[in-house]
Structure 1
Amino acid sequence: MRIAIVHEWLATYAGSERVVEQILQLYPEADLYSLVDFLEPDERAFIQHKSVITSFIQKLPGARKHFRQYLPLMPIAIEQFDLTDYDLIISSHHAMTKGVITRADQLHISYVHTPIRYAWDLQWQYLEQAGLKRGLKGLLTRLIFHYLRLWDVATANRVDAFVANSQFIARRIHKTYRRPAQVIYPPVAVDRFRCDRPRADFYLTVSRFVPYKRVDLTIAAFNELGLPLVVIGDGDQRSQLEKIARPNIQFLGYQADAAVVDYMERCKAFIFPAEEDFGITLVEAQAAGAPAIAYGRGGATETVIPGKTGLLFSDQTVESLVQAVRQFEQAPIATPATVIRQHAEQFSEQQFRQQFRDLVEAQWSDFQPFARPSMTR
């Protein structure tokens, strides 16, 4: 059986790339496709140093730094991949990849991190943040989004089986495409963490500084609380937030993986104010035995057990987060760190590989009447 794995773009190592890494461990012989590949030589271990088949966007002017600006061309680019020699196509999708063209005798399984956010749920937030709610440029952007939504819905018919990274995303898939999706949670490297270290007197948040992550909410809440907070991460909002932060808040910027592990293993609790599709750092913190204080929407509702592994606050407001932290201060989570860790282990890399392999085998077995005769052996 010949297998192709199609990923959106290879420019960093984040949540969706961890999924590709684990799928490649299951199917190391698979060929890898991506709209662009700008990984440096020392960043390619997770794709097993494979040669990647890329689209024409790879060679367009300025693509290395600004490939996302070519978004309107991406539907055309993804449709140019010639996958005729493959029996199984696995797409890792958050924008375009499920739109690859396949035949009736090819099985296409799409692992969906989310339907394309900025064309659906986050359209108005994106337009406002980009200053595109008015004017000719804003009108053009809305027209592009309209076209993307039409293409996105139409290409859902090219997928034989959808897999969602959470129940939250399965609901989005049903809302957007009217298709069911089996949930397989993304892989978390829980084995990197210890849960037996003494807890120190500081709270921790780890995040990119982009608006939807709501680091600003955490800063405002701890300005009011006056409790020690360590902030790990970087981004455009950092300098602005550092200016308003009080002395009890320490910004560390980007930190290497070993440092992040160290702080997670020692923090009093982990703060997570974003509405995420899943939330890998939230599970990592629990793997380190840290209780979580998270916004009670999105993936957090599936990874945090209120009162046992953490607390969920109901509104994405400063007041709601402040109330949750004060509740934690008055009545800390009594669950042993080892039990919090055990909860996180259900999201391990091993669990992902087993569940994904089982799904592929089941889908391939059901698909046999439609597969090419020479490939059913």
Structure 2
Amino acid sequence: MTDTVMNSTGEIPEYDIARAAGCPFDPAPAMRARQEEGPLARVRLWDGSTPWLVTGHAEHRALLADPRVSVEPARGTPRLSPGEAAMAEAREGSEEATSAPSFIMLDDPEHARLRRMVTGALSVKRVEAMRPATQRIVDERLDAMLAGQKPTDLVEAFSLPVPSLVISELLGVPYEEHDFFQANSRTLINRNSTAQQRGEAFQRLGGYLDGLVGEKIASPGDDLLSGLVERIDAGELTRREAVEMGVLMLFAGHETTANMIALGTLALLENPDQLATLRDTDDPKAIAFAVDELLRYLTITHGGLRRVALEDIEIAGQVIRAGEAIVVVNETANRDPAVFPDPDRLDLQRDARQHVTFGYGVHQCLGQSLARMELQVAYPTLFRRIPTLALATEVERIPFKHDGFIYGVYELPVTW
């Protein structure tokens, strides 16, 4: 076994997730280059550290399912940007250090205990019960868009409002506050945000959600926050834990899906033959396949999942030593030709259910059923109701989100 993988020049290459201007749907050239060298390689981060970069599909799943791998920052997970590092240091020196971090940054059994508090609200059965309401939301947003001026920005008119309304309904949050939530969630997921900016955004969201939790304590309803309040009353959750869960659900639940709706629309407009197969079918299975293929092909959760080895791990001819940091890359795993033949081609009839856009293992995204359902409603409805939908600008002029942990477009001018 060897301990270091370098590029052909003998140097450890820089970590770079910027996608190429001419190929906005494909993984970053630097990530593809590392994948071509093998499923594991070393990369150099902004702070000089050299974590393992995992680009292969099999290795991705193996490591994320391995109990010898930790997600907890205190154990040494890598920090991918100066802003992220500063935010962590600020938290460690603040009052928040006395409370548990978000459950997505905890290992089992504590992670499993907290995750169980919200899994029921996001079960397949509960999500399917939300499909008629989601269809109504989608239709209403399209009614408003069609009644407005054109060209219009699809992001503001459709892809942001739809998931904002859906997640607000799920949580029991008034939609009137959606601008507030979108602005603060953007700050949280932007890798270039300063520690102060992120801290202030989190405090604003936390403060609002804490007030809403107080309202649910006084007058509970049939929503996710009210369910968390029941857990507080039973002594299973602290109020602070409930608030942090609410913040996570709120910004993760609408920012990710919003980016996927807009970027997927662009990908379909650029692949009219595939668009036609989705628009012209009413087969739920075919629509589900199409959505999973778009999730695989676009992989908006780009840049890598951060982990650290707790013990020595032998994998793919390498040894990851205890204490060494790991960055597991979703977008390259989703383009692994060993799993997805002709991986750079968008094929909506492909069975892409093995994609890892939602991660893998115990930390796999718990909101994936909700995201899939929203996309299964949004895409077909959009293209059936507006069959002449077209870009109102050149792809080269569209501003892509190269600076965030969630990839997408800042705006998408369309007409019909």
TM-score by length of 2: 0.25
Higher helix share: 2
Q: TM-score, normalised by structure 1?
A: 0.26
User: With CA pairs under 8 Å and 6+ residues apart, which has the higher RCO, 1 or 2?
Assistant: 2
Per residue, is there more strand in 1 or in 2?
A: 1
